Amino acid sequence: MATKLLTGLVSPKTDIRISLDSKRKVYSTLDRIQGSVTFTPSADLPFDDIDIEFVGTSRTYVERLSTAAAISGRSQAFHQFLRLSQPGVAEHYPGDRILKAGQSYKISFVFAVPRQLLPRVCTHTILNDAIREAHLQLPPSLGDCEASNKSEQLDDFAPDMASIRYGVYAKISTVKPGQSQRTTIVAKARKVRIIPAVDELPPVNVEGNSDITMRKEKKLRKGLLKGKLGTLVMEAAQPASFKLPAPDAESGDRITTMATVLLRFDPQESNAQPPKLNNLTSKLKVTTFFSTAARRDFPNRTDCLNELSNGFHSETLEVSSRCMANVEWTKMDAERDVSPDPWALPRRTSSAVSAPLLPPDASSSYTGGAFYIARLLVPIELPSNKCFVPTFHSCLVSRVYTLGLSLSTNTAFGGNMDLRVPVQISALPSLRNDSPRPSITSLNSVEIDDESADGVDEFFEPRTIYAPEDEYLGSSRLQGGAVEPQASRRDSVMHDQGNGLPEYSLLAPGSRGRRPGVPVF
């Protein structure tokens, strides 16, 4: 794993090595991140405090392109949404608080990946409780696939404008004479990739969402200068989610789902036959939304185009193409009661209750009489040469997936019928976490094989999870000499002052000189 050395006042040079006991490169919900930090100074190093933390941060920026110079430039945001502090570190301090030259000091740590964030992490204005609940879920690592279970680095579709990083962060600090705040002497961070366990959620509410098309009608003609053949209706429901395998599962598992497309043909004349179908092509659209202001609602493309603080990045990849020439149509009489499902398939509803999957409703041109229906089953598999993360929504970054279904027909003027259906990606927990998943407290019973641990309990004392203050919300810095928000000028080690809150600033650290107290991966 790559490490990044963050140096502030380095006198003398001190080597910090962060070691993980496990060879795993990906961790899930409730997994233990266990290891040790070894400090080796080249000369005697007096200090006041040593901190070992597990932190999670998100960084975003948006390039503002406008004819008005006052609002042009780049806005940036940095949110430290998680900080778990290892207790009992002071017990390992030397009595005189001086690290001796050439001597190594080893301190063990154990962190448990939390199920979710504390409510105080997301305190900004929202439209409903569902958004708050989504923002309090642990987001996956994004924008850094070098720490994956694959031997090669994979693409997770993350743009440069958005990243989410986790890591173990160790630092040595001191208090200078005449000052009350601590100054970081030396610090080091080691990245850890987190893919939390994510359950499949109820189908997305697509009402008013212009990015989604669940149904489409198309009028078909017999040929040039000929009459109408009828109207073809194409409809689909949200399929079951793609389920990412457990991080500790054997590689090679296929990640699949099944989409169902329903067709209805309303003939213009009673003797008209349904059209012959050609190919059905499936494409997966991966969209990453990012913002430099905390989001009040779930993102969509329209809002991103209308607000300067929002942006999105989309990539599309073809996942399947199948010939549908042999699909059989079923003729339905107008008088027949079609309320029982002729296909006996469950419909995925927002209440997550199985309901009959009925044929599509009649087209706008239907005047009565017999009609035809057909069902297309479309198996879809995620490509193995890409790195997918679960669907998620955080305060600054979101990741959503859309399944594009394009059907071509063998009729005059050809043309395709296209649907855009939402699809989720969920993730299974580690295999050792049997269902029901163990609580965090149950991990206390797991033995820690580390001779430096005096007792198990101290490693599982409640960590402090810090959350943002209101003053850190709603401002950003523009290029061209705008004043830096007051929040970003405060000392980054805010818990030193007793308030225990992390950085949540609309100015990313480093834009005016890197501050060594903030772990940046």
Tokens of 314: 């989309």
Q: What is the C-alpha separation between 403 and 176, in angstroms, rounded?
A: 58
Long-range interactions of 249-254: CB distance < 8 A, separation 24+: 249/428, 249/431, 251/149, 251/150, 254/381
Tokens of 379: 């198996």
> Containing H/E element for 7?
strand 3-7
Residue ranges and CATH numbers for the domains of the chain are: 14-198 (2.60.40.640), 215-334+364-427 (2.60.40)
Can you give the pLDDT at residue 296?
92
> Containing H/E element for 17?
strand 14-20
Query: Which residue do the tokens 């859309």 mark?
Result: 402
Candidates 214, 237, 232, 277; CA nearest to 358 is: 237
Question: First and final CA of the chain: distance in angstroms?
Answer: 12
For 141-203, the DSSP string reads: PBS--SSSSSSS--B----TTEEEEEEEEEEEEEE-TT-SSEEEEEEEEEEEEE---BPPPPP
Q: What is the C-alpha separation between 273 and 410, in angstroms, rounded?
A: 12
Tokens of 103: 């001597």
Q: What is the C-alpha separation between 360 and 157, in angstroms, rounded?
A: 35
Report pLDDT digits (tens) over 369-404.
899 999 999 999 999 889 999 999 999 999 999 999
Can you give the pLDDT at residue 8?
43
Can you give the pLDDT at residue 70?
55
Residues of the chain with pLDDT below 70 are: 1-12, 66-72, 145-153, 225, 335-357, 414, 433-521
Measured from the Cβ of residue 481, the count of other Cβ atoms closer than 10 Å reads: 7
Look up residue 227 and give its amino acid: G
Say if CB 85 and CB 53 are below 8 A apart.
yes
Say if CB 164 and CB 140 are below 8 A apart.
yes
Catalogue the E-assigned strands of 326-467. Answer: 330-332, 346-347, 355-356, 371-381, 392-393, 397-409, 416-423, 425-427
The model's pTM: 0.78
C-alpha dist (Å) from residue 249 to 22, 146, 166, 257: 15, 19, 21, 19
Can you give the pLDDT at residue 305?
79
Candidates 161, 171, 199, 197; CA nearest to 9 is: 171
Tokens of 444: 């206390």
Can you give the pLDDT at residue 465?
42
Can you give the pLDDT at residue 336?
56
Say if CB 114 and CB 194 are below 8 A apart.
no
